[in-house]
A and B are shown apart, each in its own frame.
Chain A
Amino acid sequence: MATIAAAIVADSPRRVTEEGPWVRGLLLTLALGFMGLFLWLPVSLVFTEALRKGVEFYLAAITEPDALTAIRLTLLASAIAVPLNLIFGLAAAWAIARFDFPGKGLLITLIDLPFAISPVIAGLIYVLMFGAQGWFGSWLAGHDIKIIFAVPGIVLATIFVTFPFVARELIPLMQAQGKDEEEAAILLGAGGWQMFWRVTLPNIRWGLLYGVILCTARGLGEFGAVSVVSGHIRGLTNTLPLHVEILYNEYNGVAAFACASLLTLLALVMLAAKTFVQWRIDHPGNRL
């Protein structure tokens, strides 16, 4: 038997669950060609265009005052939106993954809602609420508070588009982990916060970080929603993506790509961080 089996293996050029070399080659070419055309080429173009007029021009483009204000505003919006959505994600996941209550399925669907809504409509809803003609428009004007065409509107729009990310990562993770460890902690006399810091958080930290990375990446790059509420006031309410748009539309392509290259670098850093965290989730045994 063994010799027959060995003869068959030696004779057959490949395993039955593999494709022939031609099909393999074709599939590899298709996949890598598609990725090259749609991913690698655009990234190369960003950096080539950004550096076309030399390093000095590049540095000038990313350090002029309007660009710096835009960078600061972009970071500020994410610095407010991400922690808020992090707290929401933790609270929602705790309620959904640890307790039973009616309407749970509906709540999960509603949390995903911002994914299904165009960013432009996300901006529009805040204009309808807080704009000059909006529900609270005259009240806000009376108290001299500006939300639309000002920083608070940009923060709100960023919160909306990044709303589901942390909750979406944590809910399935915490459901899969179960509540035994936490119940044990409570039964052994731990307080609620003690249990949270000592048991829950260490268990979910990588999933949490993963959600935060997705949330930050989306927040830093949001364009449509922010564009609707910002009013594009240079040096005041322009985020970095909006600044890129203005430069590009002014035919200042090299400066636009210089600022775009900063965002691309951030995106690549986010991807690296995400890959690392994913690896930690897949290899839970290895301790740092």
Chain B
Amino acid sequence: MRHRGVLPGFGPALGFSLAYLCLIVLIPLSATFIKAAGLSWQAFWETTTTPRVLASYRLTFGASLIAALVNAFFGLVVAWVLVRYRFPGKRMVDALVDLPFALPTAVAGITLASLYAPNGWLGSLLAPYGIKVAYTPLGIVVALIFIGLPFVVRTVEPVLQELEQELEEAAASLGASRWQTFYRVLLPAVMPALITGFTMAFARAIGEYGSVIFIAGNMPMVSEITPVLIVGRLEQYDYAGATAIAVVMMVISFILLLVINLFQAWRAHRELRGSV
């Protein structure tokens, strides 16, 4: 039944898109894999598994995970408040959610570093309690929370808006407490969006560079994230080393994203079958 249709321009539009995609993204990206393939397996393994490199993977993925979890919780609370409550200045607060997205990462970096430095506005408040944020792994988590903030809010918000209040009313009239309604009715409904937002925040945090380098201190083994390590290798003209580490990082994050997407698909599939 499907006819190619009367609309013009399919060939040129697809042709241009593919050519542009190949030139800007695919061919340059394949360069990393080809460069890494030029290394012997042993050289590749030795470059990518030194204690310093391993420590950077742990820090990068660990800090990103913590930051994304914090964002999942607060993102849900912020989205809930923005959708359900009325308060003065709500429009401005809503617009401000996207600030981390619009603000250049270098600006975020120097700002957070100054805020949490021992003599900064917040750092000086925390110093008497012995809490150090700037130039420690904790600072990295703070920067990554900032970077990932919009993702969860912006994915959960439309789902909360679409939710039908009848469901909540039904739950309440059947005797559920507000907490039970939230836990049994609302949370399952927003869960897919929450996981998507979490994944986006996580993925963004893993690759983040600009906002982290200023607040991290970049000490090897302690507060050096993998992108900083890659830049370090590049500055020493060790292109093969930089590429090998970059390939490992890309492969790990692709696998993580794939696993989370498969889990989402499996959940959606199960839910669909459960409801029929």
User: Main SS of the interface on chain A?
Assistant: helix
The reply to whether B121 and A263 contact each other, CB–CB distance below 8 Å, is no
Give the dominant DSSP class at B's interface: helix
Identify which of A84, A160, A245 contacts B25 (C-beta below 8 A).
Answer: A160
C-alpha gap A147/B225 in the complex (Å): 28
Contact assessment for B77 and A221 in the assembled complex, using a CB-CB cutoff below 8 Å: no
B48 at the interface (CB under 8 A from A): no
Whether the pair A88, B20 counts as a contact (CB closer than 8 A) is: yes
Does A237 have its Cβ within 8 Å of any Cβ on chain B?
no
Using A118-B207, A160-B25, A267-B103 as known contacts, say yes or no to A19 and B178 having CB atoms under 8 A apart.
Answer: yes
The interface residues of chain B lying within 8 Å CB-to-CB of A248 are 110, 214
Query: Which residues of A (89-113) have their CB < 8 Å from a CB of B?
Result: 90-92, 94-95, 98-101, 107, 110-111, 113
Chain B CB within 8 A of A201 CB = no
Contact of B111 among A45, A114, A116, A133 (CB under 8 A): A45
Decide if B25 touches A17 in the complex (CB within 8 Å). no
Are B254's CB and A41's CB within 8 A? Answer: no
Q: A223 on the interface (CB 8 Å rule)?
A: yes
Which among B87, B178, B239 is the interface contact of A127 at CB below 8 angstroms?
Answer: B239
B104 touching A222 by the CB < 8 A rule?
Answer: yes
Q: Does B43 interact with chain A (Cβ within 8 Å)? A: no
Compute how far the CA of A133 lies from the CA of B13 in the bound complex, rounded to whole angstroms: 35
| Contact residue among A87, A116, A227 (Cβ-Cβ distance under 8 Å from B254) | A116
Interface of chain B residues 236 through 265 with chain A (CB within 8 A) = 237, 239, 242-243, 246, 249-250, 253-254, 257
- B141 CB to closest chain A CB, in angstroms? 12
Interface code A113-142, partner B: CB below 8 Å = 1, 0 otherwise? 111111111001111110101110000000
In whole Å, how far is A33's beta carbon from the nearest beta carbon of chain B? Answer: 9
Q: Name the residue among B77, B146, B257 with the largest chain A CB count within 10 angstroms.
A: B77
In the complex, B16 has a CB within 8 A of chain A: yes
User: Which of B24, B78, B210, B254 has the most CB atoms of chain A within a 10 A radius of its CB?
Assistant: B210
A7 at the interface (CB under 8 A from B): no
Asked if A53 lies at the interface with its beta carbon under 8 angstroms from chain B, I say: no
Given A119-B207, A183-B6, are A163 and B97 neighbors across the interface (CB < 8 Å)? no
Q: Which of B20, B27, B77, B165 is close to A34, meaning CB atoms less than 8 Å apart?
A: B77
Q: Are A38 and B145 in contact (CB under 8 A)?
A: yes
Q: Would you call B191 an interface residue if the criterion is a C-beta within 8 Å of the partner chain's C-beta atoms? A: no
- CB neighbours (8 Å) of A40 from chain B are 96
Which chain A residues (180-216) contact chain B, with CB distance < 8 Å?
A: 182-183, 186-187, 192, 195, 214
- Indicate the size class of the contact surface on chain A: 35 or more
Q: Which A residues lie within 8 Å of B107 (CB)?
A: 46, 221, 241, 244, 260, 263-264, 267
Q: How far is the CA of A124 from the CA of B78 in the complex (A)?
A: 37
Report the bound CA distance from A98 to B2 in whole Å: 13
Contact of A124 among B165, B208, B246 (CB under 8 A): B246
State the CA gap A60–B85 with chains docked (Å): 45
In B215-246, the 8 Å CB interface with A consists of 227, 230-231, 234, 237, 239, 242-243, 246
> Is A79's beta carbon under 8 Å from chain B?
no
Known: A98-B10, A111-B21, A124-B32. A179 touches B5 (CB 8 A): yes
Q: What residues on A are CB-neighbors of B29 within 8 Å?
A: 113, 117, 125
B98 A274 Cβ-Cβ under 8 A: yes
**A27–B145 contact, CB under 8 A?**
no
| Binary contact readout A156-169 vs B (1 if CB under 8 angstroms, 0 otherwise) | 10011001000000
Q: How far is the CA of A181 from the CA of B104 in the complex (A)?
A: 40
**Contact of A233 with B by CB under 8 A:** no
Contact of B234 among A38, A101, A116, A228 (CB under 8 A): A228
> Does B249 contact A121, Cβ atoms closer than 8 Å?
yes
Chain B residues with CB under 8 Å of A240's CB are 104
1/0 contact trace for A36-76 toward B, CB 8 Å? 00111111011001000000000000000000000000000
What residues of chain B lie closer than 8 Å to A154, measured between beta carbons?
none
Residues of chain A within 8 A (CB-CB) of B145 are 38
* CB contact between A110 and one of B13, B26, B146, B250 (< 8 Å): that residue: B26
A-B contact pairs, 27 of them (CB 8 A): A27-B80, A27-B85, A34-B74, A99-B5, A116-B254, A118-B230, A118-B250, A120-B230, A121-B250, A124-B32, A126-B28, A128-B32, A133-B237, A160-B24, A160-B25, A183-B5, A183-B7, A192-B9, A214-B101, A224-B210, A227-B209, A241-B210, A256-B110, A257-B110, A260-B111, A267-B99, A267-B103
